[in-house]
Structure 1
Amino acid sequence: MSVPLAVSRMEETLSLDAPLRVAQSSQRDPEQAAQQLASRLLSPYLEGVLFFCSAEYDLPALAAALEAHLGGVKLCGCTTAGELGVDGYARGSVLALGFDRRAFSFDYRLIRELDTFSLLDAQRITDQLMEHCTHSGVAPIKGHTFAMTLLDGLSACEEQVLLTLTSVLAGIPHFGGSAGDDNRLTGTYVYGEGAFHDRAAVVLMVNTALDFEVFSTHHLRPSGEKLVVTAADCERRRVLELNAEPAALEYARLVGCAPEALGPEVFARHPLAVKLHDKTYVRAIQSVNPDLSLSFYCAVETGIVLTAMQESDLLEDLGGEIAAIADRLGPAECVLGCDCFLRRLELEQAGLATRARDFYREQRVIGFNTYGEHCSGLHLNQTFSGVYIGQYRRDH
């Protein structure tokens, strides 16, 4: 069944007159799902739609249905490792956010070939997006514009693409997430120009007079134990040895479990991180390979030191970050977030799914669970990265 519209407090407050409208459907039939989204989102002022969908859908059929019912507006999105919707965490659904042109300029570009993406490509895309923002006349570019990236989460191209983009964004704040596929690790897709694409990315630029702040946070703290990567296959993001031992065996020793017990649940509870300039950046493990190497979601290389991390209260950490921004900007219209799927696993394993659902709903958080997060040109793991958008005021 679809998500009942009358139940969600977020949908009640993001009304037809709001600058942002949210819609979500759990209908398995792509045609019915697209119809439900359109009935909620379409208006004479709709500038563009950003959506996140389960990879369980028949994606070509969903693409055709979305174009049929939302055709004529700019439409981009990606597949997920779970949706963060109007009632908190969801699976098997499609979630969409509509931007009103009276409050937002919204435009995107599709990067079809990540492997050959160059500095010239990045400059061309950025110039085109900034030109659209300028012509829209919603607000000045400086201080009123942010960028969002969506990338194929199994492409292993995030670091190179994000670094290239950041070099030309000229200080425009940026965040984003890597597409997922409900934890199957078989195929992740971004959507643009009317179809789903793999080994591709979407760059979205939003300009607005509303107050906003891009941010990233995680709840993990160093435990003291360290592992040295003594052999790695950088191209495939594989660690072959830790402390001169087979990587899976040494990691299993560290966390106190049998090697055959290693899996996403263990990885979520026992993350590793690198330290750069007094900050820690998680390097999440993706899988164990038959040769006892470990595949990672982020770049790894021989010689780096990985620090074992321990959990603190995930929701308390995120709540503190949101509260601090609210003190600066006032109440939120919404918080658009890219939330690592390992954070979701951690909450579910700890029996905190209900608490998380209530928290996200109250904080007006929407978004998706990712295979990696992006912030300021960095590719991250086990974080929440997003943008806090301040409440619309009629005097804007």
Structure 2
Amino acid sequence: MTNIKTIVAVSKSIDPLKASQEIQQQLNHPDIDFVLFYCSAVYQLDELAAAMTLCLKGIDIVGCTTAGEFTRDGSEQKSIVAIGFSGKYFSISAIQIESMEDFTVVDAQNTMSELAAQCCLNELAPIQDNSFLVTLLDGLSRKEELFLQTLNSATYGIPHFGGSAGDDVNLANTHVFYQNKFYQQAAVVILINTKCAFEVFNCNHIKCPTEKLVVTEADVENRTVYELNAMPAAVEYANLLNIDVKDLTPEVFSLNPLAVKVGGQYYIRSIQKVNVEDLSLTFYCAIDVGIVLAAVEMDNICDSLNNKLENITQRLGKSELVLAFDCFLRRIEIEQKELNKAIESLYAKYNIAGFNSYGEHINGIHLNQTFAAVFIAENETKEDNVNE
């Protein structure tokens, strides 16, 4: 059989057993010993969990629900995307965190120690400089920031990215999958140790800030802003855009994001919804009273991503896989601007696969409207680094 590093599989069948069988057939290679999958929330999740476990018997499987899926062949919805990793090139361990809210610094240290110990059993490559972390979190938990900050305190410089699970933009139930079952309010932390050259990165297309809005009243715990500039939040935001409050939709949010400046960089804080009873705004990311939110002018979404990926390609060589978590609001923007063909050409060019998320993670930070990913090169790391 041919030597492989990764295999990307897709099923568009809504029947859990048939979909799982199709995934298994596409991933049927003796070297595949770990599978990462992303699925629409349209599936009966208990049935899908049983079917995936049955069809991929003997293989470690983790995953989550999504707000859309994508591969080198384009964007999907109501589908499953699964990525199989060869044990010859990747040593992978995963741990479930049942409660993000109760996750402590000691838990983070123990988690990292256990993950590293499991990866080391394969003696593939030294953990430091040859590993990266992937996080899958319940996208409606509202505990992402605290969890990511705590985990980041114990990563010892290992680069980290991830995505928050979606549910086809129903905003009702998001799940992560670990050891035969879907969970809520939970996280899965994955350590991937590899012989391949790689780079963890994130990309947005913020061009420049424009108007400033100050959060003057908020419910921090529930990420809800009641007032911006001492005015009802939805009214002030709508006034900024010169539209009526009733016309505020996810499509409007995607094209007119708000951002906060952290360490000299602007990071988007995406609006989740308008609460009509009090004209407040609920966000996907943490907010606080007194923070300044800036309306931002956006650049070309495809050009910014292509430039980033081309730059990495120049340094690392051609990509084997770009494993990515891309905010679902970016997908909405792409659809509104009719850029589907342009973005899909990038998926094919760089072999991109992943899912549309409710939030993105990069080195302990929770982001919105961002492309967070790892570029895994076809080339291996230098031999002297691998066999130290």
Q: TM-score scaled by structure 1?
A: 0.94
Shift of 1:223: 3.4
Q: Counterpart in 2 of 1:95?
A: 81
Check whether the contact 1:271–1:308 (CA below 8 A) recurs between aligned residues.
yes
1: CA distance between counterparts of 2:370 and 2:314? 22
Shift of 1:393: 5.6
Q: Counterpart in 2 of 1:8?
A: none
2: CA distance between counterparts of 1:310 and 1:342? 15
Q: Counterpart in 2 of 1:317?
A: 304
| Aligned counterpart in structure 2 of residue 329 of structure 1, from 316, 319, 339 | 316
Shift of 1:16: 5.2
Q: Which amino acid aligns with 2:354?
A: G
Which secondary structure state, in structure 1, belongs to the residue aligned with residue 272 of structure 2? strand
| Aligned counterpart in structure 2 of residue 149 of structure 1, from 126, 130, 135 | 135
Q: Counterpart in 2 of 1:391?
A: 378
Which secondary structure state, in structure 2, belongs to the residue aligned with residue 137 of structure 1? coil
Q: Which amino acid aligns with 2:342?
A: R
2: CA distance between counterparts of 1:200 and 1:57? 19
How big is each residue's C-alpha offset from its partner over 1:251-306, in whole Å with a ceiling of 9 and x where there is no partner?
00011211001010000000000011210011000000021000000000000000
Shift of 1:359: 2.0
1: CA distance between counterparts of 2:2 and 2:44? 30
2: CA distance between counterparts of 1:171 and 1:214? 12
Shift of 1:88: 1.6
How big is each residue's C-alpha offset from its partner over 1:116-162, in whole Å with a ceiling of 9 and x where there is no partner?
11112111111111001211111111110000000000000000000
Matches within 5 A, 1:17-96: 17-96=3-82
Q: Which amino acid aligns with 2:329?
A: L
Check whether the contact 1:47–1:104 (CA below 8 A) recurs between aligned residues.
no
Check whether the contact 2:260–2:292 (CA below 8 A) recurs between aligned residues.
yes
Check whether the contact 2:7–2:85 (CA below 8 A) recurs between aligned residues.
yes
Matches within 5 A, 1:1-396: 17-289=3-275, 290-392=277-379
Instruction: Give the % identical residues.
Output: 46
Check whether the contact 1:222–1:307 (CA below 8 A) recurs between aligned residues.
no
Shift of 1:394: 11
2: CA distance between counterparts of 1:286 and 1:300? 12
1: CA distance between counterparts of 2:32 and 2:75? 26
1: CA distance between counterparts of 2:270 and 2:2? 40
Shift of 1:222: 2.5
Q: Which amino acid aligns with 1:372?
A: G
Shift of 1:92: 0.4
Q: TM-score scaled by structure 2?
A: 0.96
Check whether the contact 1:26–1:94 (CA below 8 A) recurs between aligned residues.
yes
Q: Which runs of 5+ in 2 are unaligned?
A: 384-388
Q: Which amino acid aligns with 1:198?
A: Q
Which secondary structure state, in structure 1, belongs to the residue aligned with residue 37 of structure 2? strand
2: CA distance between counterparts of 1:214 and 1:390? 11
Higher mean displacement: 378-387 or 34-43: 34-43
Distance change (3 Å), C-alpha of 1:45 and 1:24:
same
1: CA distance between counterparts of 2:96 and 2:267? 28
2: CA distance between counterparts of 1:302 and 1:128? 38
1: CA distance between counterparts of 2:35 and 2:266? 34
2: CA distance between counterparts of 1:294 and 1:300? 11
2: CA distance between counterparts of 1:351 and 1:208? 37
Which secondary structure state, in structure 1, belongs to the residue aligned with residue 240 of structure 2? helix
Shift of 1:55: 0.5
1: CA distance between counterparts of 2:222 and 2:128? 38
Shift of 1:395: 9.3
1: CA distance between counterparts of 2:72 and 2:78? 14
Check whether the contact 1:213–1:387 (CA below 8 A) recurs between aligned residues.
yes
Which secondary structure state, in structure 2, belongs to the residue aligned with residue 211 of structure 1? strand
Check whether the contact 1:24–1:86 (CA below 8 A) recurs between aligned residues.
no
2: CA distance between counterparts of 1:16 and 1:337? 26
1: CA distance between counterparts of 2:380 and 2:203? 28
Q: Which runs of 5+ in 1 are unaligned?
A: 1-14
